Chain A
């Protein structure tokens, strides 16, 4: 039986179910226990589980992330929450030099079953230090999985898989998605990494989008449908590993591609996906791949300017028309 729940409720369920299932799972983060998290993802977990498993930390990201990585190496399954992805700049050594490398450098003897939960993207006027989309930083580092769910269903299924994964997972939520609703089954399920989801089937062009750009692309797709343009919207769901097969199959079908990312254009994941497509489906492309991305700029602390630095619905519509030579 499916019911409609919020994205943040789906995440809460995933944490709760995994903590019940596996006593080595525990949570650490700022304000996650008593307060239930700034976005209420961990609400009420302290009531069910002990303070030893739902730990409020001091404002010392490097320290508690390091503690989490150490605990993972020692056999626990920590889920560490960093309140804003912007703050992960404080923990890069723990993640990049330790978590991502440890299994490799120990000859496979010491896996790091560690989950970093964080959230990114523009909200409503949260300014440059609380609005970034930094998935490309983690995407770049071998040894890390990068997960970016766009729906409550995906959020729950993917978080459960992340917790069960023996490798470090960067699990990136979006602040504007927490209050979105979607169908989530009551029965237990997980979603495997590396399986893209076709959010809308179509035939004229392929939009590849993740996180909050998925609902925006679906809105654009609905508008385009009114004009007789039927686009396919693919959500990779996990950027590492990336489901190339689903993407390439869609490209071979539609022959036109628009990649939408909220992150800034330069050095983004979209560029990398575009390079994969041109290399592996070159003969099928009927138009240059369009990338709709954030401007190469910090996010301004001004609502109307903020809305201009990240892809808008009309930007996506225009890009689709461009690849269709309309």
Chain B
């Protein structure tokens, strides 16, 4: 029997995905955990890993084609079946056993490694067409050419495509040294007047794929979800002091964001209606707590998910959050469970407070502002300077009421104020 390899659901509400690259072809042997394909959703590229060892027998969704999620993108013959079917397979099994005996370590992995070295065939890698100039610019500014559509002949990516991508990514994120460099580059005489020729009059900047996805999802959220907002001040003085002393010896330095994730997880456990997906007629309380953390990429916002955050220690949360952000920035994300609650932190940009839009179908999102020193009145007209943070919770009023949300926030506040 041959079993299908199904197109994974690489994001919430995703119905189809495009295979951007097959790492294997029909006849290739694969082992568990091998990356066999890259699949692109509206927002990002995901790696598809083999869930079983065996041989690819057929590719159904070719490179560049779109396939429906949960439907076969390829077929494979699993290893177990290969071994039980026919003598030839048995011989192979025997041979491998002997091979295994000669090696100090045996086990599936070793056997498969041998198979790999015997059978693996180099596969072609897709290289986007791009002009040398475009390649140079992309290299200098860490732009992934495979994320761009070329406007030149044969889909060739040319310099103006890079400049356009840069222009779009410049909207909505803080300028960095690299951006300044890039701007300086685009100020060079050769491009300046091209740019200004464009900028002298109104001009359309078409949405990229990711931008369009953000636009559609946020419009749906803002127009169909009855949002309400609660804002609360939390005193972070003790938490920051704890963090400072903890980080003295810590290998991985804990960030405020990590502490907030921890606090959110703590409160979500107590308030399960907040950790949910909302449908038109019901709320689905999710058993796992999967925290999405909004990350600003050049081309737009993306929300990598920390799965099972409720099972993680603070240190583990830190590592998971860091890896999730790095992966998101690299453009290739691991397929994870869908998020159940999202945190968006703009504190690092000096934002005091903001009202985020819910990432559907979640029930809530937390907007985090900057930690700021404030005078706080004390007894006998005394005052103290405290580190304060503003937390804004957006809730879906169809599923959550104000009092419940307030209790959730208060729970978070007391957790943060007694952080340890």
A residues with a Cβ closer than 8 A to B are: 203-204, 228, 230, 253-255, 282-287, 325
Contact = CB atoms under 8 A, between A and B. Distances in A.
Given A228-B197, A325-B151, A325-B152, A286 B159 contact: yes
Interface in B249-276: none
A226 to B, nearest CB: 13
B139 to A, nearest CB: 9
Interface stretch (B38-46, B184-192, B358-366): B184-192
Of A203, A228, A230, A286, the most chain B CB neighbours within 10 A belong to A286
Closest 4 CB pairs of A and B: A286-B133, A203-B189, A283-B136, A286-B159
A252 to B, nearest CB: 9
Nearest to A203: B189
A287 B136 CA distance: 13
B131 A204 contact: no
Contact of A282 (B132, B134, B193): B132
Interface of B: 131-136, 151-152, 158-160, 188-190, 192-194, 197
Given A286-B158, A325-B151, A253 B189 contact: yes
A286 B134 contact: yes
A320 to B, nearest CB: 13
B152 A283 contact: no
17 contacts: A203-B192, A204-B194, A228-B193, A228-B197, A230-B193, A253-B188, A254-B190, A282-B132, A283-B136, A285-B131, A286-B133, A286-B134, A286-B159, A287-B131, A287-B158, A325-B151, A325-B152
A285 B132 contact: yes
A282 B131 CA distance: 9
A283 B130 CA distance: 11
Contacts of B151: 325
* Interface SS of B by simple majority: helix
B135 A283 contact: yes
Given A204-B194, A255-B133, A284-B132, 13 more contacts: A204-B193, A228-B197, A230-B193, A253-B189, A254-B190, A283-B133, A283-B136, A284-B136, A285-B132, A285-B133, A286-B131, A286-B132, A325-B152
Contacts of B136: 283-284
A284 B159 CA distance: 10
A236 B192 CA distance: 26
Contacts of B131: 285-287
Chain B CB within 10 Å, residue with most, of A230, A253, A282, A287: A287
A284 B193 CA distance: 18
A253 B193 CA distance: 13
Contacts of A283: 132-133, 135-136
A284 B160 contact: no
Contacts of A253: 188-190
A325 B151 CA distance: 9
A255 B190 contact: yes
B7 to A, nearest CB: 36
B193 A203 contact: yes
Nearest to B192: A203
A286 B151 CA distance: 12
A286 B135 CA distance: 9
A282 B132 CA distance: 6
Contacts of B190: 203-204, 253-255
Contacts of A230: 193
Contact of B159 (A203, A228, A255, A282): A255
B156 to A, nearest CB: 9
A282 B136 CA distance: 10
Contacts of A228: 193, 197
A27 to B, nearest CB: 46
Contacts of A282: 132
B160 A325 contact: yes
A284 B133 CA distance: 4
Contacts of A286: 131-134, 158-159
Nearest to A230: B193
Contacts of B193: 203-204, 228, 230
A264 to B, nearest CB: 26
Nearest to B188: A253
B318 to A, nearest CB: 40
A291 to B, nearest CB: 17
A254 B131 CA distance: 14
A325 B131 CA distance: 12
Most buried by B among A228, A253, A325: A325
A285 B133 CA distance: 5
A180 B101 CA distance: 91
A278 to B, nearest CB: 9
B188 A325 contact: no
Contacts of A254: 190
Nearest to A206: B190
Contacts of A255: 133, 159, 190
A194 to B, nearest CB: 25
A204 B160 CA distance: 12
A47 B263 CA distance: 105
Contacts of A287: 131, 152, 158
Contacts of A284: 132-133, 136
A258 B136 CA distance: 21
A283 B133 CA distance: 5
A104 B160 CA distance: 50
Contacts of B134: 286
